[in-house]
Amino acid sequence: MKKIRGRLILLIAMAVISLIISLPSFPSLYTPLPDWMKQILSDRGLALGLDLQGGVHLVLEVEEDRAVEIAVDRSRKALEDLNSETEFPIDTVVREGTGTLILTLADGDEAKTKVTQEMEEGFPGFVLKESSGTTVSYELDSEEVDRIKDSAINQALETIRNRIDEFGVAEPLIQRLGRNQIAVQLPGVKDPERAKDLIKKTALLEFKLLDESKVALELPPQVEKGQEDQVRTEFEGRLPEGSEILFENVIAEDGETSFSLPYLIKKDTALTGDVLQDARVTIGEFNEPIVSLTFDSRGGQEFERLTADNVGKRMAVVLDGTVYSAPRINTKISGGRAIIEGTFTTSEANDLAVVLRAGALPAPMKTLQDLTVGPSLGKDSIEKGVRTLVIAGCLVVIFMIVYYRLSGVVANFALVLNLIGLLGALSGLNATLTLPGIAGIILTIGMGVDSNILIFERIREELRLGRPVRLAVDGGYDKAFLTIVDSHVTTLITGLALFLFGTGPIKGFAVTLCLGIAINLFTALVGTKVVFDLFNRKKLQRLSI
């Protein structure tokens, strides 16, 4: 009796705990609970996947070659800075192709020796490709190119994850696909377009000086939206070398029409956003949203030097090739702080702060797949999935009662216990339920019934041999034990492989399958056995099986 009591208490405890843990998954039941109970329970519960509640599915491709070009341009800029600060013996440095730097040297073998030594020590990723007179070319070796590409993809993955965390999406799926692709799933997103813009924005922040030459005065005061390329074409060939035309987007006072302001801007970047420490939205002097920037120690020093050297000049704040503001530097700015003002809304300012805090993507990305799943489609999927689950469950319950009679009722009891335990486990782990996950639950029902059928057939064999009911039940469980364990363990191994190596929907199937199998092993071998042991206390002469 003590053994039965212990197992019975264990079953009741499992059922009660599972039901309590699953309460957050049902808002209508969770909301009325007292505050002290809500503090104990998780407030998340079982989450629904993209296919059940709608959302965004993106497959993005990182432009690897552009990442290599950006890395080589940084090395070019470092060599130019070295030349201006220490009179390094080079006249010009230009990038050719994707990964080649062409250096024009000052006269003399001494200059070539000094440059060769500096490239070997300060730029070890480059190898000498060609040397002719006062011109030498260096090229990134293949290992360094592969490292830059791999690093760019990993950095893009982490940057996207940081942005989504800031955006506040529950249960996102962000993972690498193949060599240079990233899959992003955002279930339950209310504003898909805003989320996609936030993810795909390169967020390359640059501070550039305006070119205030005569050509700048000839630019039109404003340009209609969509006419920007025409302005660039009109001034093609007339722009000073090293300058370009960029535009600021402006919304008119009526809040509906918009236009662009053209600026003539020097191509060389005075300061980039990689020295940012923080970005926050604050309220300006006229109650307009502004983005307040805080630089790290190095960035603060560079920004102070930049503003001190260019007092009286205008400096543009450029994000992804778009000008956000172009204020005049009236005095040296120290303290490592700056602001970005512009004609943007509070929501746009918040998004700008998010991408600046999360960091710039290392390279632009192309969208290979862009799907938006509506909530109505997700609702339809839920209804069909639940309907399938109910139909499958009812058919199994009816079959077990018709074929095994009272013992079939016992098996159905174990099945219900299995589903309660599975719901509690999924809710406790804050797992994401997907449509394939519902399929996994249906398969778990089949596995649970299969275990009981094995046990019942062994019990029938024992009864045919004339064994008493108690011995027949014990013998049936003993003989079926290894078969059940073996089938469950092999299926569990398969489920674990699916979870480790599968993508989102496959993972959802694997999670419910693995949890269902583990719980079913307990309910089939312990749950039904407790019920039969309670029957045998009455010393049954016949068993309805």
User: What is the reported pLDDT for 121?
Assistant: 79
Percent of the chain with pLDDT over 90: 3
Distance CA 511, CA 514 (A): 5
Over residues 510-527, the mean pLDDT reads 85
Over residues 368-372, the mean pLDDT reads 83
User: For tokens 């006419």, what's the residue?
Assistant: 227
Q: pLDDT-based confidence at 446, cuts 50/70/90? A: confident
229-283: per-residue pLDDT in tens?
Answer: 899 989 888 898 889 999 988 876 665 667 889 999 998 888 877 777 788 888 8
- pLDDT, greater one: 422 or 383: 422
User: What is the reported pLDDT for 246?
Assistant: 93
Average pLDDT, the chain: 81
Over residues 377-387, the mean pLDDT reads 73
CA angle 410, 412, 418 (to 5 degrees): 110
User: For the whole model, what pTM was predicted?
Assistant: 0.60
For residue 266, give both structure tokens.
């020097």
Lowest pLDDT segment from 33-42, 440-449, 456-465: 33-42
For residue 397, give both structure tokens.
């319950």
Strands 432-433 and 47-48: parallel
Distance CA 221, CA 29 (A): 61
For the four alpha carbons of 464, 467, 471 and 475, in that order, the dihedral sign comes to: negative
Distance CA 138, CA 55 (A): 47
Percent of the chain with pLDDT over 70: 91
Report which listed range, 97-106, 305-314, 320-329, 341-350, is most confident: 305-314
User: What is the reported pLDDT for 93?
Assistant: 82
44-92: per-residue pLDDT in tens?
Answer: 777 777 777 778 888 888 888 888 888 888 788 777 777 666 666 777 8
Over residues 150-161, the mean pLDDT reads 83
Residue 495 has a CB neighbour count (10 Å cut-off) of: 23
Amino acid occupying residue 262: P
204-348 CATH pick, 3.90.226.10, 3.40.50.1700, 1.10.3720.10, 3.30.1360.200 = 3.30.1360.200
Q: Which residues pair with 366 in a beta bridge?
A: 61
Least Cα distance to 354 among 162, 156, 152, 154 occurs for 162
- Count of alpha carbons within 13 Å of 411, Cβ hemisphere only? 29
Q: What is the CATH number of domain 64-145?
A: 3.30.70
User: What is the reported pLDDT for 86?
Assistant: 64
- pLDDT, greater one: 39 or 85: 39
Helices (H) and strands (E) in the chain, counts: 18, 20
Does residue 217 carry a pLDDT above 60?
Answer: yes
2-53+376-536 CATH pick, 3.20.20.140, 1.10.3720.10, 1.20.1640.10, 1.10.1740.10 = 1.20.1640.10
Domain limits, the chain: 2-53+376-536, 64-145, 204-348
- Count of alpha carbons within 13 Å of 508, Cβ hemisphere only? 20
Q: pLDDT-based confidence at 173, cuts 50/70/90? A: confident
Judging by beta carbons within 10 Å of its beta carbon (0-12, 13-18, 19+), is residue 114 exposed, middle or buried? middle
User: What is the reported pLDDT for 375?
Assistant: 62
Q: pLDDT-based confidence at 168, cuts 50/70/90? A: low
User: What is the reported pLDDT for 537?
Assistant: 62
User: What is the reported pLDDT for 377?
Assistant: 58
Does residue 111 carry a pLDDT above 80?
Answer: no
Distance CA 432, CA 507 (A): 9
User: What is the reported pLDDT for 253?
Assistant: 65
Q: pLDDT-based confidence at 127, cuts 50/70/90? A: confident
Residue 106 has a CB neighbour count (10 Å cut-off) of: 16
